[in-house]
Structure 1
């Protein structure tokens, strides 16, 4: 992988290299490339908006943000975002990073699919979310030049991203459908199974053990 992609330097510390090696062991090339693109697009946005952020922490957050989809990090009861966030925090702790930095990365990963909140938080959190939505659904697409997009894809090809990514998310959601309540992840099941019956917050309110 190129050390500089469209003007963005890929972190090359020992910790950054080990993070990439770990994630590469457990993710497909398609998901790994997606994760690095999330960093590149997030860092581009940060530079464009002159935000002060830690590139290494953003890189780790981007690398680990989908690791919860991998079988090795799957848990039966947590959202896949939390599985990835937990893995990243343990990785950072093992490298001696402070708890505030490890928690910052945890939040960036845990919140990366949550609409309307991360963009108001610390830059590393906001930029992780921005990189994800740019690469997955094209939010902010026109804010990047055609050259920036082309250079990023030349270094980190998408392959059959749209189809394979949806299938990866579907497999994860089907393993623990109860964790998709109140999240965007339920859409992956509903898209393929129109009979899927999920929890409804109105039902929960009406069934609460209060008299009124």
Structure 2
């Protein structure tokens, strides 16, 4: 798939459903990097995640930094892209590390960088981010809304549909995102231990994928009892 069919759209969609994309130099640089790196499916997904995260935050009257939330949303799946995928780390960590390095080069404060890093690293770990800083909680909320259809009640239907219209889910986001996950982790299946991506491997390789088992690890470790 051609990743750059609409180069001019870097700044074409600056506001959706009342949510404004931060118009800073940093945000523009992030948009250009991600648009030039990810294919359409991941790019539109990442933008939807930002808008859903921001709408959720606004609906709950949470105070968050839009620029940090935008950075987290746009980088959150970059670890699935071959150019930024490590051989041995979870894809979430690869994306978090890329965001950290990018933000450091742009002089962002370390505390803010840590917030973005944590947001990305934990975005597939359910039931923990919601109790953390708003940016961390909201990134996961945005991802869960777009991928899992969770939290619809937190965003007006018209706003949610407007985001999906401006950043479309066609032709088939559901199967497409599963395939993107699979392509990003298939060469390092051990990184799926204890997280939801093991389900992706089992779905794509039902006959060959062997899950690591927590209890077997306990019972088979070097301790005598």
Measured against the shorter chain, the TM-score band is over 0.9
Counterparts of residues 110-129 of structure 1 (less than 5 Å): 110-129=121-140
Shift of 1:158: 1.0
* Cα distance, 1:169 vs structure 2: 0.6
Q: Determine the structure 2 residue equivalent to 1:56.
A: 67
Identify the residue that residue 149 of structure 1 maps to in structure 2.
160
What are the within-5 Å matches in structure 2 for residues 133-212 of structure 1?
133-159=144-170, 160-195=172-207, 196-212=209-225
- Residue in structure 2 matched with residue 70 of structure 1 by the alignment: 81
State the match for 1:44 in structure 2. 55
Residues in 2 aligned to 1:60 and 1:5: alpha-carbon distance in whole angstroms: 17
Render the CA deviation track for 1:73-130: whole Å, top value 9, x for unaligned. Answer: 0000000000000000011100101111101100000000001100000000000000
Instruction: Give the match for residue 10 of structure 1.
Output: 21
2:44 to 24, 28, 33: 33
Higher deviation after alignment, 98-107 or 140-149: 140-149
Instruction: Identify which range, 96-105 or 153-162, moves more after superposition.
Output: 153-162
Is the CA contact (8 Å cut-off) linking 1:173 and 1:186 kept in structure 2? no
Matched, 1:83 2:107: no
RMSD of the TM alignment (CA)?
A: 0.9
1:134 shift after superposition: 0.2
TM-score of the superposed pair, with normalisation by structure 1: 0.97
Query: C-alpha offsets along residues 141-160 of structure 1, whole Å, 9 cap, x if unaligned?
Result: 23322211221112111112
Deviates more, 1:21-30 or 1:122-131: 21-30
Kindly provide the CA deviation profile for residues 32-78 of structure 1, in whole angstroms up to 9, marking residues without a partner as x: 01101111011011111111110000000000000000011000000
TM-score, normalized by length of structure 2? Answer: 0.92
Q: For 2:186, what is the secondary structure of its paired residue?
A: helix
CA distance in 1, matches of 2:85, 2:200: 17
Unmatched runs of 5 consecutive residues or more in structure 1:
none
